[in-house]
Structure 1
């Protein structure tokens, strides 16, 4: 049974999927990134009513899509269909936080963040402010 057909992705599922996509973009799910995803789901108000048991299926959607040639395009299609526009900046902020979580921004992560900015049609200045905040939160002493 494919749960995604009978139960479309919730907005929170979309946020989880996007965070997982950023973590998986370099084909290495780092512990710091996974901890950042878990912390976001556990503590942010946008996830207050989220069933944490759905995280695994949201992540599996990403892994399944990344095995396909046009998987990233399909992921963005799912986001556009299921994520309200008012959460686009939240989605980008979460993606930036996951990318910055391990202290290193890899080329694949930077390319994906650029693609996310484009696909979600984020204002350039807003995106820069979000990126600056993520960098400040993840700065090392």
Structure 2
């Protein structure tokens, strides 16, 4: 299997979560645990082969080291992820960004990029962001 051209829909969702976590160059344990939790509990990942995680993570990190790697990653995601899962991808990215209680500037920028690349309506994206903020609120 060619790492750069063959992604399942679930691989795409994992890639979006990984790029969100890696966006600030500080992949936190809470973010990795959230990715794992989503994979283990969401229906969209019911038949996902978790052996793919390392391959997808390596592909994401390799692409991020290339000059146009982020564009290439989003091209792969748009080409392999069904449009009906674009909002799901964004929701997962928002949860990964919010899990540690702080959405920094670089995470905000990657979320903007994901919104743009997936062509998400700004109002829908705001509702997804609000839901993530509500889920990860602390006392």
Under a length normalisation based on structure 1, what TM-score does the superposition of the two structures give?
0.96
Shift of 1:3: 3.6
2:134 corresponds in structure 1 to: 136
2:91 corresponds in structure 1 to: 93
Distance 2:104 2:124 in 1: 22
Shift of 1:14: 0.4
* Structure 1 gap ranges (5+): none
Cα distance per residue 1:22-67 (max 9 Å; x no partner): 0000111100100000000000000001001101111111000001
1:4 corresponds in structure 2 to: 3
Superposition misfits of 4+ residues, deviation over 4 angstroms: none
Distance 2:107 2:62 in 1: 19
Distance 1:63 1:124 in 2: 28
* Structure 2 gap ranges (5+): none
2:70 corresponds in structure 1 to: 72
Corresponding residue to 1:18 among 16, 19, 30: 16
Distance 1:86 1:104 in 2: 28
User: What is the alpha-carbon root mean square deviation over aligned residues?
Assistant: 1.1
3-state SS, counterpart of residue 3 of structure 2 = helix
Under a length normalisation based on structure 2, what TM-score does the superposition of the two structures give?
0.97
Cα distance per residue 1:53-83 (max 9 Å; x no partner): 1011111110000010111101110001111
